[in-house]
Structure 1
Amino acid sequence: MTATHHNTPDLFALSEIHGPVLRPGEDGYAEEVAGFNLAALHTPDVVVGATGVDDVVTALRWASATGTPVAVQATGHGANFPIDHGLLISTARMTDVRIDPRERLATVAAGAKWRHVLDAAAPHGLAALTGTSTDAGAVGYTLGGGLPVMGRAYGYATDLVRSFQVVTPDGTLREADPDHEAELFWALRGGKGNVGVVTSMVFELLPLTTVLGGAVHSPGEHAETVLRNWTEWTRTVPDEMCSAFALLRLPPIPEIPEPLRGGFWARVAVAWPGDPAEGERLLAPIRAAAPVEVDTVEEMPYAALDRIHLEPQDPLPARESCALLRDLTPDAIRAFLDQVGPDVTDCPLLMAELRHMGGALSRPARQDDAICARDALYILETVGVLAAPPAAAAIERATASLHEAMAPYGTGRTMINIHGTPGDESDRARAWTPEVYDRLRKDKSVYDPANLLRFGHTVPMAS
């Protein structure tokens, strides 16, 4: 029997699962389906709290036999699509991390957060290519390509992946690397969750213990001066200098430290893995561009990377979006400021950020992958907090208006992890070039011919 909104398939075959198997209304169900992004409220017919590979295999074999659609969640940081039926596999209990310091490799289970990885690697003087929040799941982040804080210096997270252990929708456990299941390996590096459920991955670590990192905050009325100076500065700095400009409209809540709380700020966040004195010298033009009220740039342990962007630590309902930009011309800067700058007094967006790409992010991958962002020099990202229905509508309007204004300066593509709520097929396709999109559709037809993995940012099968 196929899962629907009104009836759930017989769960007897799931009795072999070691973790909880829960249906709506049962104790623990709400907690099991909840993710970090509260904007996506999941209501699957059944949720499996997988404790290991065997549970994932059993769950997928059951789904395949019953024709039940499947979704996967570890932390829910990237959740932007509510799951309203079918089976949800939660991998949050699968947090094992093993470090091989001699080979500089990490083996990471499906539900491990980047915080788990950094804490395990740091005692060996090693580091991983994490994003702006170490509370995010390592596997889901990497499947979407993985845009690290240190990306200009070291590339995408997928660039360091050696292999995946993955269960395809028919319940078959496979090992994928450049020499075995090479097409599956390709699709998993930038193609997100279209072809299987990854239960673990092996990737290279970096011999990195400290970075110069933090952010320089100027009052928001100086946004234009800071942005124009930052843009020119990005054209001169070495590849190892990683930075982002953001306009922040911060709410007056206790979670935000003073004096940032409740303010409008122009922020330049930086991360530099080289000599700290050289990093300080490089940063001088940014500090001199406008009055600085808060300066948190310091030499810090790599494992303290969260201090740079100060992402929210508690779950919240958020709407995010992104667009890859070819360049930031004077006209592009003007278009950006006209939409979200200091003259827009009713802007509802928590953050509008421009991150510097290029450097190692523009270099060809060692092995072909599904990432389609290597031609972008910048990326635009917006975040709005959906506190109430009127706010949600205003955030949608502001987001659409900003992206429309910036479209002439874009590549036409997005990055899948921060694409936001997936729309129709043409909208989803924007995460890839037409060639890569067609190849992913063919792989989808091979590995998921029943289209069980249909939730979230998925592609249709080849016709």
Structure 2
Amino acid sequence: MAFHSPTIHADLDSLRSEITGSLALPGEPGYELSTPWNVAVPVRPLAVVEVHDARDVASTVRYAARAGVRVAVGRTGHGAVPIEDDVLFVHTGRLNSCVVDAEARTARLGAGVIWQDVVDAAAPHGLAPLCGSSTAVGVVGFLTGAGIGPLVRTFGLSSDHVRAFELVTGEGDILRVSADQHAELFWGLRGGKSTLGIVTSVEIDLMQLSHFYGGALYFDGSDAAAVAHAWLDLCADLPEHTSTSMALLQLPSLPQVPPPLAGRFTVAIRFASVAGPNEAEALLTPIRGVATPVVDAVGMLPYSAIGAVHADPVDPMPSHEFSCLTGELTHGAIDELLTVAGPESGSPQTVVEVRLLGGALAREPRHRSAFCHRDAAFTLFTAGVPLPVQRAIEAGVAPVVSHAGRVEQAMSPWSTGRSLPNFASSADPKRIARMYDEDTAHWLSALAEEHDPAGVLRVGPVVRDVGGASSDRGVIM
């Protein structure tokens, strides 16, 4: 239903009267909240509903069912997908409650909370949330995508440490969801993204952890081959107390980029360990032995500095992302990656990262979830800025996009053909299908039909009607 419909305009006035939050049409204050972190993604909803509580979400969902429109949800826009003008955008920024129970080692978090808020609230108690590589992303989007953080090999998925959700279903019901209440939804919410509803709050466990040994070593691009092969050797039989990744970087010459890294090709070895400093430092000795870092930013750090491991960008920017999972990598795989994305390749990517998985991630938790592919050995991720931005958006192609395809092809002998929900978010049904095995996709689809029979939430990275005809509307049909 088109945005310019007078009937919809009138109905939106009735929705305004039903909620305690605010509603903004295009051009009105508050509509800008729909602008995603990845500004290359076209997000132009019918209206933006800045909700005040779960009841506002429920009212919005029920209105959408009556009006024949759909509902999407977001906080920071890091996992943004295209949104059209028949979609109401629920912004959760006002749901910002963050309550830490130090004795129970838990936290209850509103859907508008970002990870740095939780890190800062837990730190005075010597506690730590299992956040992602960026502490500037929202807690809910990260956890419903399962959550792979800098210490994933030690503690497993972040979603494995969720205790409960508050959920608004596609029918507008407000439910408490846990292992003991609506267990089937508890299974699906941990990995199923927004398929099963809109999460308005979450309860998580906190780790007894105040410091870790980690950070990143940065090497000049001329040392890429030596460093990359030494890193792959490090990955072999790496103890679970340590997680690591390698990134090929081409960071721009901007004030926020350290001068030794700006405008040049570098290789970063990301590292995070809960082992003692001597034991952890010894693991990096072989890598330090093959080349001299241009920046050595590894040492004992407070957990509040966990974001320094990956040093992800904070400011919004246009980006194209690609991701896939792989089996065990060989030195031949590293050679192929360097050929297509190394310092002599002409790669336009800003970052090409290979992250080691395994460890605690590979084991099934006490409560099973919709997360699949625990047997993957590595995840490969690329991100690049399509320039010029406007032409890239209008044409839908850019050198960075076609090059990501070359990376995918080069690594295909090692790829599993699968990917993770939280890396390179997509509304492409084929991409979404790569995130789940067949049984998981069917169960998620069945649960979605049960709790959202009108299809109000059929938008974005959701699983619906597996096995039927395909659709271009951001769902598996």
Q: Is the structural similarity TM-score above 0.5?
A: yes
Hey, what does 1:270 align to over in structure 2?
271
Identity of aligned residues (%): 38
Verify the 8 A CA contact 2:129 2:206 in the aligned structure 1.
yes
1:80 Cα shift?
A: 3.2
Q: Does 1:370 align with 2:359?
A: no
Verify the 8 A CA contact 1:449 1:461 in the aligned structure 2.
no
Q: Distance in 1 between matches of 2:46 and 2:341?
A: 41
For residue 233 of structure 1, give the secondary structure of its aligned residue in structure 2: helix
Hey, what does 1:398 align to over in structure 2?
403
Q: How does 1:246-395 map to 2 (within 5 A)?
A: 246-344=247-345, 346-389=346-389, 393-395=398-400
1:113 Cα shift?
A: 0.1
Q: Does 1:75 align with 2:73?
A: no
Q: Distance in 1 between matches of 2:301 and 2:30?
A: 39
Q: Distance in 2 between matches of 1:449 and 1:54?
A: 20
Q: Distance in 2 between matches of 1:241 and 1:145?
A: 20
Q: How has the CA–CA distance of structure 1 residues 55 and 143 changed in structure 2, closer, same or farther, with 3 Å as cutoff?
A: same
**Count of residue pairs the alignment pairs up:** 458
Q: Does 1:415 align with 2:420?
A: yes
Hey, what does 2:458 align to over in structure 1?
454
For residue 411 of structure 2, give the secondary structure of its aligned residue in structure 1: helix
Q: Distance in 2 between matches of 1:53 and 1:267?
A: 42
For residue 459 of structure 2, give the secondary structure of its aligned residue in structure 1: coil
Q: How does 1:50-449 map to 2 (within 5 A)?
A: 50-344=51-345, 346-389=346-389, 393-423=398-428, 425-449=429-453
Hey, what does 1:13 align to over in structure 2?
15
CA RMSD of aligned residues (A): 1.5
Verify the 8 A CA contact 2:232 2:331 in the aligned structure 1.
no
Q: Distance in 2 between matches of 1:16 and 1:308?
A: 44
1:427 Cα shift?
A: 2.5
Q: Distance in 1 between matches of 2:353 and 2:172?
A: 41
**TM-score of the two chains, using structure 1 as the length reference:** 0.96
**Equivalent position amino acid for 1:300 in 2:** L
For residue 369 of structure 1, give the secondary structure of its aligned residue in structure 2: coil
Q: How has the CA–CA distance of structure 1 residues 413 and 227 changed in structure 2, closer, same or farther, with 3 Å as cutoff?
A: same
**Equivalent position amino acid for 2:368 in 1:** D
**Equivalent position amino acid for 1:4 in 2:** A
1:307 Cα shift?
A: 1.3
For residue 44 of structure 1, give the secondary structure of its aligned residue in structure 2: coil
Deviates more, 1:220-229 or 1:191-200: 220-229
Q: Distance in 1 between matches of 2:42 and 2:431?
A: 22
CA offsets 1:39-76 (integer angstroms, 9 cap, x no match): 22321111100111121111112112222101001111
Verify the 8 A CA contact 1:74 1:91 in the aligned structure 2.
yes
Q: Distance in 2 between matches of 1:148 and 1:100?
A: 22
CA offsets 1:385-433 (integer angstroms, 9 cap, x no match): 134156751011011110122122112110011134332x233200111
Deviates more, 1:446-455 or 1:115-124: 446-455
Verify the 8 A CA contact 1:243 1:269 in the aligned structure 2.
yes
CA offsets 1:351-394 (integer angstroms, 9 cap, x no match): 00000101011111211111113111111011111341567510
Verify the 8 A CA contact 2:2 2:85 in the aligned structure 1.
no
1:28 Cα shift?
A: 3.1
- Residue among 7, 23, 30 paired with 1:28: 30
Verify the 8 A CA contact 1:81 1:455 in the aligned structure 2.
no
Q: Could you list the runs of 5+ residues in structure 1 that have no partner in the other structure?
A: none
Q: Does 1:42 align with 2:46?
A: no
For residue 215 of structure 1, give the secondary structure of its aligned residue in structure 2: strand
For residue 410 of structure 1, give the secondary structure of its aligned residue in structure 2: coil
**Equivalent position amino acid for 1:388 in 2:** P
Q: Could you list the runs of 5+ residues in structure 2 that have no partner in the other structure?
A: 469-477
Q: Distance in 1 between matches of 2:100 and 2:180?
A: 23
1:278 Cα shift?
A: 1.3
1:242 Cα shift?
A: 0.8
Verify the 8 A CA contact 2:349 2:385 in the aligned structure 1.
yes
1:313 Cα shift?
A: 1.5
Q: Distance in 2 between matches of 1:330 and 1:387?
A: 33
Q: How has the CA–CA distance of structure 1 residues 406 and 422 changed in structure 2, closer, same or farther, with 3 Å as cutoff?
A: farther
Q: Distance in 2 between matches of 1:64 and 1:170?
A: 8
For residue 199 of structure 1, give the secondary structure of its aligned residue in structure 2: strand
Verify the 8 A CA contact 1:419 1:431 in the aligned structure 2.
no
1:456 Cα shift?
A: 1.5
Verify the 8 A CA contact 2:340 2:407 in the aligned structure 1.
yes
**Equivalent position amino acid for 2:436 in 1:** W
CA offsets 1:244-270 (integer angstroms, 9 cap, x no match): 001001111112111111110011010
Verify the 8 A CA contact 1:413 1:430 in the aligned structure 2.
yes
Q: Distance in 1 between matches of 2:80 and 2:150?
A: 21
Deviates more, 1:121-130 or 1:274-283: 274-283
